């Protein structure tokens, strides 16, 4: 491995590493606009100029590979002058409309101006005017004036989404980013160009004017939109005008995780945070009527406990691949203490979409693999989801617990008619909530701690970013309260204790810790 010195500090990096990445290992930030580790090197912004000994001119750090004995300076006067010069060019026609720009606060131009420029404009002629606030796709707004022509978005559509919607047109000061003729930026990953854009040229139409980024609280969590489980950051804040009186989700964007999603995520996942407020089930219901949770549980216990105790074989749990490993484990433990053998997660009932061979998986549930690995999948002596429903509709069960399954109303009616007690647990209020004997609200994935096992077999930590809405609770908490009501008290374990319990006896997860999990996650299978 080549050894080089950057600003007098020695560092040894693999051959082929560029200087920006090498400097990063020393916690040195070489300013750059066009370079992105997930894209090819363009080398057009000229912001990353550094001095390399024995090179006649300054070199761009993004396209200079390390070499043995290289001596690099990133803090010499020559470099500082070059950076200030580049900043002056980039800001020449920039409208400086930061007050109305959504990027303000997370803008490279703002940061680098403060760090490397700090001069007033010397431009005496008027600035170039270009189009502002042009919607170029369902999710992205383009402001051509703010663009620094780094071409990150163009390279993204060429190299990652491979849809080629964007291009750079014109020359000189009329050069601009624009859509290719007849195209709109509507690929399934279009939102990524907003994250890529180092300035405010591409902004998110969904997040437009919603909040200033510095007001938002970041939570590193997992997207629950499909089995891929992309690493994401969820931004939350209170909004005095939304009347909920607690923090709400503002936006979701990908977090770098080279093992899973790289730097990207799909639009479907990106805007899935709206589900936190969409049609939520907020209060327990007894035959459709809103009641306090204790009352609902007491009535459920009064009706179900004698039946389950008399014939544990005539009770069934239909769990869901949308629940965390901890919740699945808690329900499995509850079923065991009740003596109920029929515990299944409805692998054949789960929502399926189309896989695209990149990030989007056909399985639109975050934890199918986790449920299978917990031993809740199809197995001898236990009916699968579809067979279970058929048997239940035929009157094979007295008590059925359904968690997070959007069953069609006809099937549900038949199910309710054939069973004595039908208990439902859902995140979203089912249209036919009245069909359930008791319906209890579940917390959204963003409202609870836990783990999901993605399609690669990585156990990934889901973090609580919001307080559960209304009376909703995570499924493991309902399992504990249900156990107490049914006369089989469960250990009052939090998600961490449940995690320790379910990972015990799993040699591949030996040593895994709940907080933080990233370091101990098993390698991709």
Partner 1 sequence: MPKPKMTFVERLYLPEISKGLALTSRHFFRNLWHHSLASLGLESRDRAMVTIAYPEVRRPYPLVARSRHRLTKREDGSPKCVACMMCATACPADCIFIEAEEHPDPAIEKRPRHFDIDMSKCVYCGFCVEACPEDAIRMDTGSFELAYFDRKGLVYDKEFLLNDDPHAVPAHAEPLSRGN
Q: In the complex, what is the shortest distance from the CB of residue 95 to partner 1, in angstroms, rounded to a whole number?
A: 11
CB atoms under 10 Å from CB of 387, counted, come to: 14
Q: In the complex, what is the shortest distance from the CB of residue 111 to partner 1, in angstroms, rounded to a whole number?
A: 17
One of 126, 172, 240, 381 touching partner 1 (CB under 8 A):
240
Nearest to 48 by CA among 1, 12, 92, 82: 82
C-alpha span between 468 and 473 (Å, rounded): 6
502 to 521, contacts with partner 1 by CB under 8 A?
none
Nearest to 140 by CA among 91, 187, 90, 96: 187
Nearest to 437 by CA among 305, 525, 336: 305
Nearest to 509 by CA among 376, 336, 370, 379: 370
Closer to partner 1 by Cβ: residue 96 or 513: 96
Q: Are 461 and 380 in contact (CB under 8 A)?
A: no
- Binding to partner 1 by CB under 8 A, coded x per residue (else -) over 316-355, reads ----------------------------------------
C-alpha span between 9 and 24 (Å, rounded): 12
Position 121 contacts partner 1 (CB under 8 A)? no
Closer to partner 1 by Cβ: residue 182 or 240: 240
Position 132 contacts partner 1 (CB under 8 A)? yes
DSSP designation for 182: T
Closer to partner 1 by Cβ: residue 57 or 243: 243
Closer to partner 1 by Cβ: residue 99 or 245: 99
Q: Are 251 and 205 in contact (CB under 8 A)?
A: no
Q: In the complex, what is the shortest distance from the CB of residue 399 to partner 1, in angstroms, rounded to a whole number?
A: 48
Query: What is each CA distance from 377 to 210, 286, 311, 335, 392, in whole angstroms?
Result: 42, 30, 23, 15, 18
Closer to partner 1 by Cβ: residue 134 or 282: 134
User: How crowded is the C-beta side of 474, counted as CA atoms within 13 Å?
Assistant: 26
Query: What is each CA distance from 437 to 279, 290, 390, 413, 417, in whole angstroms?
Result: 20, 12, 19, 12, 11
Closer to partner 1 by Cβ: residue 100 or 123: 100
Position 15 contacts partner 1 (CB under 8 A)? no
Q: In the complex, what is the shortest distance from the CB of residue 143 to partner 1, in angstroms, rounded to a whole number?
A: 9
Closer to partner 1 by Cβ: residue 178 or 521: 178
Nearest to 367 by CA among 450, 258, 448: 450
Q: In the complex, what is the shortest distance from the CB of residue 119 to partner 1, in angstroms, rounded to a whole number?
A: 19
> Residue 53 in 3-state DSSP?
coil
C-alpha span between 367 and 352 (Å, rounded): 13
Position 239 contacts partner 1 (CB under 8 A)? yes
Closer to partner 1 by Cβ: residue 8 or 126: 126
88 to 117, contacts with partner 1 by CB under 8 A?
97-100, 104
Position 295 contacts partner 1 (CB under 8 A)? no
Q: In the complex, what is the shortest distance from the CB of residue 357 to partner 1, in angstroms, rounded to a whole number?
A: 37
Number of residues that bind partner 1 (CB under 8 A): 16
Q: What is the CA radius of gyration of the chain?
A: 28
- Binding to partner 1 by CB under 8 A, coded x per residue (else -) over 176-215, reads --------------------------------xxx-x-xx
Provide the binding-site residues for partner 1, judged by CB under 8 A: 97-100, 104, 132-133, 208-210, 212, 214-215, 239-241
């Amino acid at each position: 491995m080549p050894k080089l010195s950057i600003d007098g500090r020695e560092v040894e990096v693999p051959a082929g590493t560029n200087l920006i990445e090498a400097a990063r290992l020393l916690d040195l930030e070489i300013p750059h606009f066009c370079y992105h580790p997930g894209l090819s090197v363009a080398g057009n912004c000229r912001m990353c100029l550094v001095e390399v000994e024995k090179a006649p001119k300054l070199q761009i750090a993004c396209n200079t590979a390390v070499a043995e004995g290289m001596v690099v300076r990133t803090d010499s006067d020559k470099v500082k002058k070059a950076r200030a010069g580049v900043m002056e060019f980039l800001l020449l026609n920039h409208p400086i409309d930061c007050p109305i720009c959504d990027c303000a606060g997370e803008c490279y131009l703002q940061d680098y101006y403060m760090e490397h420029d700090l001069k007033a404009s010397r431009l005496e002629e008027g600035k170039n005017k270009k189009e502002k606030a042009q919607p170029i796709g369902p999710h992205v707004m383009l402001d051509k004036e703010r663009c620094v022509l780094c071409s990150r978005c163009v390279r993204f559509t060429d190299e990652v989404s491979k849809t080629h919607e964007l291009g750079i047109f014109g020359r000189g000061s009329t050069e601009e980013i624009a859509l290719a003729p007849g195209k709109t930026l509507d690929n399934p990953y279009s939102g990524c160009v907003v994250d890529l854009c180092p300035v405010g040229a591409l902004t998110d139409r969904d997040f437009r004017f919603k909040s200033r980024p510095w007001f938002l609280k970041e939570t590193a969590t997992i997207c629950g939109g499909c089995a891929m489980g992309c690493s994401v950051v969820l931004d939350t804040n209170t909004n005095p005008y939304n009347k909920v009186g607690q923090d709400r989700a503002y936006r979701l964007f990908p977090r770098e995780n080279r093992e899973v999603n790289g730097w990207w995520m799909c639009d479907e996942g990106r805007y899935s945070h709206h589900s936190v407020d969409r049609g939520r089930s907020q209060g327990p219901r007894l035959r459709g009527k809103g009641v306090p949770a204790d009352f609902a549980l007491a009535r459920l216990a009064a009706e179900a406990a004698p039946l389950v105790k008399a014939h544990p074989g005539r009770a069934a749990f239909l769990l869901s691949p949308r629940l965390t490993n901890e919740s699945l484990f808690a329900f499995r433990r509850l079923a065991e203490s009740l003596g109920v053998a029929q515990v299944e997660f409805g692998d054949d009932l789960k929502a399926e979409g189309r896989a695209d061979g990149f990030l989007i998986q056909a399985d639109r549930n975050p934890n199918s693999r986790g449920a299978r690995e917990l031993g809740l999948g199809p197995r001898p002596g236990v009916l699968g989801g579809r067979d279970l429903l058929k048997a239940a509709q035929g009157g094979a069960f007295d008590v059925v617990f359904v968690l997070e399954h959007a069953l069609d109303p006809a099937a549900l009616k038949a199910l309710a008619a054939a069973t004595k007690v039908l208990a439902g647990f859902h995140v979203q209020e089912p249209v036919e909530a009245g069909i359930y004997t008791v319906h209890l609200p579940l917390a959204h994935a963003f409202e609870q701690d836990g783990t999901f096992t993605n399609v690669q077999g990585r156990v990934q930590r889901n973090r609580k970013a919001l307080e559960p809405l209304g009376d909703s609770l995570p499924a493991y908490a309902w399992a504990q309260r249900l156990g107490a009501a049914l006369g089989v008290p469960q250990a009052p374990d939090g998600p961490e204790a449940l995690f320790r319990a379910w990972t015990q006896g799993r040699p591949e997860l030996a040593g895994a810790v709940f907080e933080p999990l990233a370091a101990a996650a098993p390698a991709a299978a």
